[in-house]
Structure 1
Amino acid sequence: MTFRQFAFNNVFRNKRTYAAYFLSSMFSVLVFFVYAVFAFHPALKNINPNVAVGLHFAEGIIYVFSFIFVLVSMSAFLKSRKKEFGLMVMHGMTNMQLRKMVFLENVFIGFFATVFGMLVGFVFSKMILLAAENVLNLDEVLPFYWPVNAIVLTFVAFLLLFITISFFTVSVLKGNKLVDLIKGSTAPKKEPKASIALSLLAIFLIGIGYAGALIADGLQVVLAMVPVTIVVIIGTYFLFTQLSVFTINRLRKSKSFFWRKTNIVVMSDLAYRMKDNARAFFFVAIVSTVAFSAIGSLVGFRTMMTADLFKNHPFALEYTSEEGNGLETRHIQLIRKELENLPYKEASADIKRVISKSDSYNVTSQSGYNQLLTKLGRDAEQVDLKGNDVLLLYYESALDMAPRVTAQDKITFGDLVLEQKEVIPGNVFPAYRNFLVVSDDVFEQIKNFEWKQTYYAFYIKDWKHSLEAGKNLAKEIAQFDSEGKYEYFSLAYTWHEINQMYGAVLFIGLFIGAVFFVSAGSFLYFRLYADFEDEKRKFSAIRKLGLTDTELSKIITIQLALLFFVPIIVAVIHGAVALTALEHMFSFSLVKESTLVLSSFACIQIIYFLFIRSNYIRKIRRSI
């Protein structure tokens, strides 16, 4: 048997321990390959080139994360195999041969993970393309093609990744004495101790971070983001390395708790496990928090964009024409012709741009304003202004960070003095600030104005049916005139484009989040099986003292629940605070979106936990 065959067979002898590492690596390759298939798709570049750019950016994120994940996983795995390496060294293997063996093992796993990841992605590529058409709301189909560029990019990128990591991981074996390798994980561990000061610091830092995130409002959230993130990350590290150990040690000193039923077995080495897995827990918690926050933010932004669109654009089509626009008549005729087969109501209102002593306003007459309200079926909101009374409308948007216009007692236009009657949010006209409604007589009296516009509005109850009309008109009428003479808007077409844009972002974000979450779960699975031999010996010894199967299942369930859910619970709390801060930034409720995202990830983790638990208990029972 050659040395290469020895290294190859060694991987298969440890396939149970390597399984999570291999599958997670394969999943990373699979997602990277899927993104590459989309990014290089010839049809996608013609439909929406921005999506291709976003997909390539996502590939970079996945690639960097895969490098970190694989490196950390391999380093931890090699440390758990010290005893095995010690036996090899004892039988004559040199340090150079040992490092060569580890290098070849990692290259073998990386090669097969890359090949199988691409094969799975290739088999399901057509299905994924069909799913993407629906998610991205694409107008054209994405036909199947041979993704040569995607195959070459994925194979070369991940082969380089695994070769580079192989060089890094062999350095872990340097400097280890034979006696340390032979002892391996059976070497006696020092009593885990925790600093009271650092434990209190963990509580203080997380508390300060949470307070800063929750108290900040509006643009303050952006300013507080970086310092709050740094403080919470440091606090989370001390939470797992110090506070968790301190809490367990305190519980062990409580006789009423420690000596109750199986708690003595659960708590006996829990402090050691928490100390050993502290960095892993920290890594999983931070990565999961990033996944929760990113996906929650993407879903939230999409909800805010669409809600804001519907709120401030009640008309299906809008056309604003400035005085002197030679295309006005032609454009209005085009719109009417395009809407011939749709039941619509048309209204119009004149707008004047006027400069006051303190501000500038867009002014319209009450008859024009009431006409628009009538077409919307909102007759109850009509106004009846007398004399110089004026109604101030302000533009209200969750995405608008500018301060709201303040009410004034009097507004002066030259010799004309107007008295404010009421200030209300207005969503009838285009998105203008400082909009005034005056009586028809006052409107006619205003002679000194910057410009005059006519606002045409077309109301369609089932506005989504105007999508084709909106698209066709968008091809013939530019959304904005370069000279500022007119502006065209279609609610259905804009809604369709937002869905396409955010559909692409969500598609990218969900896959990146999935990579983060699966990798985090796999890392926990990997840590679990790294300690399998120690657990087997421990339960075998306790079984001789009369441990029942029910008690065994209970102890293992509690230990696994702590291993799987402590970092996830911390991540859920971090994510909930981050999404609440996002609410404060835009003054828009994201409770529904936050609950959906966090509960979805929690359900996935519960299912993953139940599967691992049954499999792990079965293997422990067989071994003892």
Structure 2
Amino acid sequence: MTFRHLAQSNVRGNWRRYIAFFLSSTFSVMIFFIYAAFLFHPDVINGNIRAADKVRFGMVLCEYLIVIFSFFFVLYSMSAFLKSRKKEFGLLSLFGMTNRQISKLVLYENTLIAVLAIAVGIGFGALFSKLFFLALAELLEVESPIRFYLAPKAIWLTVGGFLALFELITLFTLRQVGRSQIVELLKAAKKPKSVPAYSVWLTVLAAVCLTAGYYMAYQAKLYTILIYMVPILATVVLGTYFLFTQASVAILRRLQKATGLYYRSTHLVTIAQLVFKMKDNARTLFMVSILSAVILTASGTFYVMYQDTTNRITGNFPQTFGFTEQGEGVHNVIHPDKLKSMVADGGFELLYEVQLTGVPVPITLKQMNNTKADALLVTESDYNRIASQLGRKTIQAEPGHATYLFPYKEVAVEFFEKGSTLVTDAGGTPVAVQIDGQVNGGVIGPNIGYTGMLIVDDGDYAAWTKGVSSANKIVYYGFELRNWEKSLALSQSIENAIPQQERKRFENRVESYLDYKQFNSLTLFIGMLVSVLFFVASGSMLYFKLFTEIQDDQAQFKALSRIGMSDAEIRTITGKQIGLIFFIPVAVGALHAAFAYKALGNILGTPVWHYGIVIVCVYAAMQFGYFLLARNAYMKQLRQG
């Protein structure tokens, strides 16, 4: 028998151990190839696909991410496989095989798996690339479908890149084979396990780190998230590590002392074995928990941004069309009657129109490096009229007081402290007002050339602007349409009817909406594929971790059978243990993600819990399916042993 035949025989004999690793590697190759096929598509390279440049940059980043992730995943998997085969290598050494020959055997095995994974991955990638191109064409709103094309560069890049990756990691992990003596290898599986110990101080440190990380995430705002980000990641990762390596053992040891629970039913066996399993699997559970948190946080963020597209755009652009005129009664941009006539001719229904007159006043924004800007001084009655139409909260301004309005909801910066005095002037008239607070989110379009509004009492406005001429006042006209999402052609027609030099005063919602929707759709589509890759890999880590310990479990459950425990009780114990191994990381990852969603909600200025719950439920359902497959395969193998 040649080394090649022996390698093939070993792979076939250990296929239950290899299957999860093989499928995860295949999926990685498939996603990488599909992205590469798009990147090297002639229509993308030649610029024939509109907005393809937006996708290209994101896919290039994903390609790097897939390679980096695959490197660590394959490295971990191969190292785990080698450790689980120490007894086998000891027997081969005892039969006269040298370390060099064992290394050669392992190299053949890993090369065989690599070639199969690359071939199957590219095959499925080619099969699904057409579907991928169709989905992209729909998201990019390409007039004609992206033609099916398998770029040779994509094939060679995938083959060369992943083959080099597999071989490099194989050579790196082969160092483990030659470092152990035959006796150590043969006794590796028979070494008695000491009772897992834990440190009280490290257990407390886990609680402190997680509490600190959660607190910072809960308090994070848009202007503090960059400061908090690294401390949050550091404390949560460190706390999670000690949670599994120390706190999990402490909790289980504590349960062993709770005699009422410990000696009930089969809990004695379940908890006693979990003490060892949690300690042995601590690093794996830690990595899967962090991966779960990354998957849930990233997927939740993509989903939130996609679902909130309309709300965000309508919040930033309260009217479908809007423009400002310099001076009352002046129509240098476009006459409102002409715009309404074009709306009617375009087949759209005008829901309402607004008109707001204000006077520009200078302000200084200290939180923006003392930026000098102009705010629009408006009356509370004009503001409240539009706010009521939009369903916003109205404002009551007392004489000598003002409320500052910033046009964007996302910015959580308080530009003027409540109770402070703002000194400015309105057309040469000195104005001093006490700030009653700040409102985020405008009632008119944001691109009017002014940084927010100062909302004041009607009488104060009349007195302060008495000397301001009509020519120095700013008038905003806004128009809201039904079915505005389809008004792109109308928007372009209106813009073409406006003189070139005045077009900067005109704004429309639909173009920003379509660009934002396209970007979020693409981000969700591309990001979800990478998230699924991470999910498959994390589940695979748990799967082959189970099967690397199955020989020990077979011996333990044979002993339990001999002392009278039934098959149903053994299945119950096994199901509980596997369930905890699979779902504890999901629970920890979901808890991490919950605080990440809170931070995201703080940044966006709106709660995102309902979106996050959807992602967590979908992820838990997928993990449950993976658990059922793993449990059935494990139980079948356990009975065969």
Q: TM-score, normalised by structure 1?
A: 0.88
Q: Which residue of 2 aligns with 1:583?
A: 601
1:484–1:279 CA distance, 2 compared to 1 (3 A) = farther
Q: 1:445 aligns with which of 449, 459, 466?
A: 466
SS in 2 for 1:269: helix
1:260–1:603 CA distance, 2 compared to 1 (3 A) = same
Query: What residue identity is the alignment partner of 2:25?
Result: S
SS in 2 for 1:523: helix
Q: 1:125 aligns with which of 122, 129, 138?
A: 129
Measured in 1, the distance between the counterparts of 2:283 and 2:636 equals 28
SS in 2 for 1:314: coil
Q: 2:333 aligns with which of 314, 328, 332?
A: 328
Q: Which residue of 2 aligns with 1:91?
A: 95
Q: Which residue of 1 aligns with 2:563?
A: 545
> Contact between 2:357 and 2:476, CA under 8 Å: does it hold in 1?
yes
SS in 2 for 1:362: strand
Q: Which residue of 2 aligns with 1:362?
A: 376
Structure 1 residue 398, shift from structure 2 partner:
3.2
State how 1:387-406 maps to structure 2 within 5 Å: 392=403, 394-395=405-406, 397-405=408-416, 406=418
Range moving further from structure 2, 83-92 or 331-340: 331-340
Asked if residue 198 in structure 1 is aligned to residue 202 in structure 2, the reply is yes
Q: Describe the superposition over 1:479-522 as per-residue Cα deviations: whole angstroms up to 9, x where unpaired.
A: xx8x8872332222221111101111112221221111110011
State how 1:472-483 maps to structure 2 within 5 Å: none
State how 1:4-83 maps to structure 2 within 5 Å: 4-43=4-43, 45=47, 46-48=49-51, 49-83=53-87
Structure 1 residue 109, shift from structure 2 partner:
0.7
Asked if residue 613 in structure 1 is aligned to residue 631 in structure 2, the reply is yes
Structure 1 residue 280, shift from structure 2 partner:
0.7
> Contact between 1:90 and 1:178, CA under 8 Å: does it hold in 2?
yes
Measured in 1, the distance between the counterparts of 2:621 and 2:492 equals 41
Q: Which residue of 1 aligns with 2:479?
A: 458
1:420–1:231 CA distance, 2 compared to 1 (3 A) = closer
Query: What residue identity is the alignment partner of 1:47?
Result: R
Structure 1 residue 148, shift from structure 2 partner:
2.6
Query: What residue identity is the alignment partner of 1:585?
Result: I
> Contact between 1:352 and 1:363, CA under 8 Å: does it hold in 2?
yes
> Contact between 2:27 and 2:121, CA under 8 Å: does it hold in 1?
yes
SS in 1 for 2:412: coil
Asked if residue 430 in structure 1 is aligned to residue 468 in structure 2, the reply is no
Q: Which residue of 2 aligns with 1:469?
A: 490
Q: Describe the superposition over 1:15-74 as per-residue Cα deviations: whole angstroms up to 9, x where unpaired.
A: 121111100100111111122223334445531111111111111111100110010011
Q: 1:498 aligns with which of 516, 528, 532?
A: 516
Query: What residue identity is the alignment partner of 2:127?
Result: V
1:558–1:378 CA distance, 2 compared to 1 (3 A) = closer
Q: How many residues are aligned here? A: 617
> Contact between 1:47 and 1:140, CA under 8 Å: does it hold in 2?
no
SS in 2 for 1:458: strand
Measured in 2, the distance between the counterparts of 1:318 and 1:545 equals 82
SS in 2 for 1:361: strand
Asked if residue 168 in structure 1 is aligned to residue 189 in structure 2, the reply is no
State how 1:165-564 maps to structure 2 within 5 Å: 165-303=169-307, 306-322=310-326, 328-329=333-334, 337=342, 340-341=345-346, 342-344=348-350, 348-355=355-362, 360-363=374-377, 392=403, 394-395=405-406, 397-405=408-416, 406=418, 412-413=425-426, 414-415=428-429, 425=439, 427-431=442-446, 432-436=451-455, 445-447=466-468, 453-470=474-491, 486-564=504-582
Structure 1 residue 529, shift from structure 2 partner:
0.8
Structure 1 residue 104, shift from structure 2 partner:
1.8
Structure 1 residue 106, shift from structure 2 partner:
1.1
> Contact between 1:348 and 1:371, CA under 8 Å: does it hold in 2?
no
**Unpaired stretches in structure 2, ≥5 consecutive residues:** 366-372
Query: What residue identity is the alignment partner of 1:428?
Result: V
Structure 1 residue 112, shift from structure 2 partner:
1.0
Q: 2:117 aligns with which of 109, 113, 123?
A: 113
Measured in 2, the distance between the counterparts of 1:367 and 1:284 equals 57
Measured in 2, the distance between the counterparts of 1:378 and 1:245 equals 54
Which portions of structure 1, spanning 4 or more consecutive aligned residues, are displaced by more than 6 angstroms? 323-327, 356-359, 365-374, 377-383, 388-391, 418-424, 448-451, 474-478
> Contact between 2:400 and 2:433, CA under 8 Å: does it hold in 1?
yes
SS in 2 for 1:146: coil
Q: Describe the superposition over 1:436-488 as per-residue Cα deviations: whole angstroms up to 9, x where unpaired.
A: 4757966873438996544332221332231332356678879xx8x887233
Structure 1 residue 525, shift from structure 2 partner:
0.3
Range moving further from structure 2, 39-48 or 499-508: 39-48
> Contact between 1:300 and 1:593, CA under 8 Å: does it hold in 2?
yes
Q: Which residue of 1 aligns with 2:146?
A: 142
Measured in 1, the distance between the counterparts of 2:437 and 2:617 equals 41
SS in 2 for 1:402: coil
1:511–1:321 CA distance, 2 compared to 1 (3 A) = farther
Measured in 2, the distance between the counterparts of 1:277 and 1:424 equals 52
> Contact between 1:33 and 1:121, CA under 8 Å: does it hold in 2?
yes
Q: TM-score, normalised by structure 2?
A: 0.86
Q: Which residue of 1 aligns with 2:368?
A: none
Measured in 2, the distance between the counterparts of 1:351 and 1:200 equals 59
Query: What residue identity is the alignment partner of 1:353?
Result: P
Measured in 2, the distance between the counterparts of 1:371 and 1:225 equals 41
SS in 2 for 1:185: coil
Query: What residue identity is the alignment partner of 1:244?
Result: S
Measured in 2, the distance between the counterparts of 1:90 and 1:597 equals 52
Measured in 2, the distance between the counterparts of 1:171 and 1:242 equals 30
1:574–1:488 CA distance, 2 compared to 1 (3 A) = same
Q: Which residue of 2 aligns with 1:154?
A: 158
1:323–1:15 CA distance, 2 compared to 1 (3 A) = same
> Contact between 1:221 and 1:582, CA under 8 Å: does it hold in 2?
no
